[in-house]
Amino acid sequence: SGKITVQDLANEMGKTVSEVIKELMMMGTMATINQEISFEIASLVATKFGFELTTADDSETEDEIEKLMEIEEDKEEDLKPRPPVVTVMGHVDHGKTSLLDAIRKTNVTKGEAGGITQHIGASEVKINGQKIVFLDTPGHEAFTSMRARGAQVTDIAILVVAADDGIMPQTVEAINHAKAAEVPLIVAINKIDKDGANPDRVKQELSEHGLLVEDWGGDVIAVPVSAKKNIGIDHLLEMVLLVAEMEELKANPDKRAVGTVIEAQLDKGRGPVATVLVQGGTLRVGDPIVAGVASGKVRAMINSKGKRVKVAGPSTAVEILGLSDVPQGGDQFVEVPSDKVARSIAEKRQQQQREEMLKSSQRLSLDDLFNQM
Ligand code: GDP
Ligand code: MG
């Protein structure tokens, strides 16, 4: 367990540093005033002075609780292939929403036509029997707010560029986000049905931003599509699978579930509702979880087709009910061993959050004070 400096140990016992150092020397340990000594050595010294050294109980349990939040490293042999998680990025009005709609429609069988009206912030499609997960969060948000919080949810980014408009400021931003996150990029040259469409100009402009497309001798895959007329969508999805295959995406389904909150809100009837992406392990109804400052037992899970499910493995987006509070997009969620642990971690985090808020409000009022003077 913990360590203590010679100085602190002396202070705790009301002894001088040199008395403690002398005692240490007699035990064969050379130490200086600011040196840290182990709990074991410190308790030996303490005994000599007639003290008993104990660790504080709550710090012990806090350590243990924090340990429960750590996810064990995966062993290579436990890893199984998992579907890719994709976000769509691009300049406003270049067709991100239309493309996601078109993609969603590729898979709708008659029976589940109603399913697409139920919206959970993510969708799944199957092409050639293989699953792809699409996040509806605008790509920029998915990258900026989530990455700011240490979350990486995207395996592949689709960059939508309107063929009649070319590269625009948010296109460049998207390219930079994908580069910074080291996420492979596939370009969807959209609106090729339009009169002013000029895919070659788009390719030219891409090359000016360091993206050389395949037919120009580079390695960037660019697929001409029309989200509106449903042209090239299947081809685009096949390219997603091709890139995914090269990435060799894997996860361990047989451990405590861990993942990221995609979005969350308070629903009048259902309480806090969060769409989460399971990234490792398997989440089941009844599992106790912590998500940011929220905790709870998973009461129900709803998949991207609007169906209730009991189990969600790696690369599955589900809406979950049963949380105590509304977590934030980008928060990590972790399955923990018990309800009690979940509550205690969440409470501790809420406490920390309150303290931080208090601190910043105090800073604020001091600043206000000085501004008035
Ligand atoms: P977003 O802002 O990137 O989500 O763009 P939207 O999907 O909202 O599309 C912006 C506008 O472009 C809408 O009016 C769409 O109907 C139109 N649009 C999107 N894709 C296409 C396309 O492939 N062809 C044509 N002609 N219009 C499209
Ligand atoms: Mg949109």
Q: How large is the average pLDDT for residues 227-234?
A: 96
The model carries a pTM of: 0.78
Centre a 10 Å sphere on the Cβ of residue 219 and count the other Cβ atoms it contains. Answer: 9
User: 138: CA distance to ligand 2 center in Å?
Assistant: 7
Residue nearest atom 25 of ligand 1, based on CA coordinates: 191
Q: Give the pLDDT band of residue 240 (cuts 50, 70, 90).
A: very high
Q: Which residue has the higher pLDDT, 52 or 153?
A: 153
Q: Quick check: 351 pLDDT over 80?
A: yes
- Token pair, residue 173, equals 């931003």
Residue nearest atom 18 of ligand 1, based on CA coordinates: 95
Task: Give 58-84 pLDDT, tens digit per residue.
Answer: 454 566 666 666 767 889 999 999 999
- DSSP reduced 3-state for 107: coil
User: 193: CA distance to ligand 1 center in Å?
Assistant: 11
- Residue 90 CA: nearest ligand 1 atom is 3
Q: For the chain, list the strands marked E by DSSP.
A: 3-5, 36-38, 80-81, 85-90, 122-127, 130-135, 156-162, 185-190, 222-224, 250-251, 258-267, 271-280, 283-284, 288-291, 294-302, 308-309, 311-312, 316-323, 332-335
**CA–CA distance, 65 with 142 (Å, rounded to integer):** 29
Q: Quick check: 115 pLDDT over 50?
A: no
Task: Tell me if 166 sits within 8 A of 117, measured CB to CB.
Answer: no
What ipTM does the predicted assembly reach?
0.99
User: Which of 79-93, 177-191, 355-369 is predicted least confidently?
Assistant: 355-369
User: 96: CA distance to ligand 2 center in Å?
Assistant: 5
Task: Give 273-285 pLDDT, tens digit per residue.
Answer: 999 999 999 999 9
Centre a 10 Å sphere on the Cβ of residue 317 and count the other Cβ atoms it contains. Answer: 25
**Residue written as token pair 């303490």:** 46
At 4 the pLDDT is 86
Residue 32 CB burial class (10 angstroms; 0-12, 13-18, ≥19): exposed
191 ligand 1 Cβ < 6 A:
yes
- Token pair, residue 88, equals 């769509």
Q: Give the pLDDT band of residue 305 (cuts 50, 70, 90).
A: confident
- Is 190 among the annotated ligand-binding positions? yes
R_g over Cα of the chain? 27
Task: Tell me if 158 sits within 8 A of 99, measured CB to CB.
Answer: yes
User: Which of 60-69, 137-146, 210-219 is predicted least confidently?
Assistant: 60-69
At 105 the pLDDT is 85
Q: How large is the average pLDDT for residues 84-97?
A: 94
